[in-house]
Structures are given as structure tokens and as C-alpha cells.
Amino acid sequence: SQTIHQWPATLVQPVGSPLSLECTVEGTSNPNLYWYRQAAGRGLQLLFYSVGIGQISSEVPQNLSASRPQDRQFILSSKKLLLSDSGFYLCAWNTKGALGYTFGSGTRLTVV
Amino acid sequence: AQSVTQLGSHVSVSEGALVLLRCNYSSSVPPYLFWYVQYPNQGLQLLLKYTSAATLVKGINGFEAEFKKSETSFHLTKPSAHMSDAAEYFCAVSPYSGGYQKVTFGTGTKLQVIP
């Protein structure tokens, strides 16, 4: 069966520290992968999506970057965190041509 | 550009009462529409999706939604609320981009079920 894993579940990081959040999908190949951020009262904002290894599209300019070093691995990174980077980060995937996503369980990031 | 507007950030219903969560969309092309549910500190789960096959869409947990083009609406309903329905619900819209999908979400409606 197909599953998506996201870790860590929670993270507290000081301002200026680096960030690495990881997402992996099992049971499928060549998925589309997505990173969303959820801020209170603001819904979900699409940050990055990827249709293949090494192919990253950025939706909004920000302090974050994404990479896809392997087919089913999607990493969200930052060199120096800002307070405004706090939020709930969600990874999602679907197959090519599919409608709707499957979401991971999310990472709650608090920058202090 | 595509967008959705969810009317009411908080909705309260009594257990056993009708659930109605409102969503209006804006789209320059025929849209695909979705409803997702999120329980606290969890990811989102797909409840149902509209893909133009039928205007009345049935989903999981007894929920359904009706696509009304004339009203640009896609409201979510359930005849009888259950305590386990308490969660946040997100309406979403997407064009079809030929392989991948960029989904735009509404700001969410928190449903409270009163015993």
C-alpha cells in the first residue's frame, strides 16, 4: 500500500538556525510531491512542488528551499530560520494525472 | 487564477442536526473542487471531490456536496451531525495542469458539534 511519512512531528528551533524537514512516500514511483504551510487563520499555502527528481518549482519567494534528491524523497530546508517561518508544514503527493492529494501528518515548527 | 471562499470560520451545530458548510469558488476554467477534513495536529484527509462527472458528489463519513455552476458554489452537507465530525474543513479548487496539480485551499471552517 502507499504511505507517506513526514518527520519530525514537532520542532522548536531558534531564530537563525538551519532547518531540514523530510518527507518520503512508499508504494509508488515518480509521484508528484508538494510542500504546503498552514498558518493560523490563513489556510494552506503552496510552497513548492516537484514532478520529478531534481525538478523543483517555487510558488512564493521566501526563506525556504526544497530539494528532491531521490524519486520518493522531498526535503524542505532553510539556512537561517525567521520567526515568520513558524507554522504547520504539510507534505503531500499524488500520481501523475490524479485529482486530489494524500497528505502526511505534518510538522509543527515553532521558531523562538 | 482560482480561489475559494469559505463563509464562516466557525460553525456550531447540535448533535443530530444538519451540517452545512459553505464554499464559493472563482475560476476562469471549469474547476475541480474538493473538500478536506483536518483533525487537530494531523494532516488533511480527502472527503470528496468534484470532477464534472456528477453534480452531487458523495464522500466518506456520510458527507456530500453539490456543485452549482449558476451559484459558483460547492457546499458541504451532512444530514445528521455526529460528535466525531468536530474538525476543521477545507474547501479547495484546482485546474488540471496536465500531470501535476496546484490546489488552492480556502481558509477553513471549524465545525463544533454540541452534545
What is the amino acid identity at position B104? T
Collapsing DSSP to helix, strand or coil, B79 comes out as coil
Record: contact A90-B44, CB cut-off 8 A: yes
Query: Chain B window 18-77: which residues touch A at a Cβ cutoff of 8 Å?
Result: 32, 34, 36, 41-46, 49, 51
Instruction: Characterize the bridge pairing of strands A87-94 and A107-111.
Output: antiparallel
Record: contact A32-B100, CB cut-off 8 A: yes
**Cell numbers 471562499 correspond to what residue?**
B5
Residue B10's closest chain A neighbor by CA?
A: A41
d(CA A49, CA A3): 18
pLDDT tens track, chain B, 115 positions? 789 999 999 999 999 999 999 999 998 777 899 999 999 888 999 999 998 878 999 999 999 999 999 999 999 999 999 999 999 999 999 886 666 778 899 999 999 999 9
Burial of B95 from C-beta contacts in 10 A (0-12 / 13-18 / 19+): middle
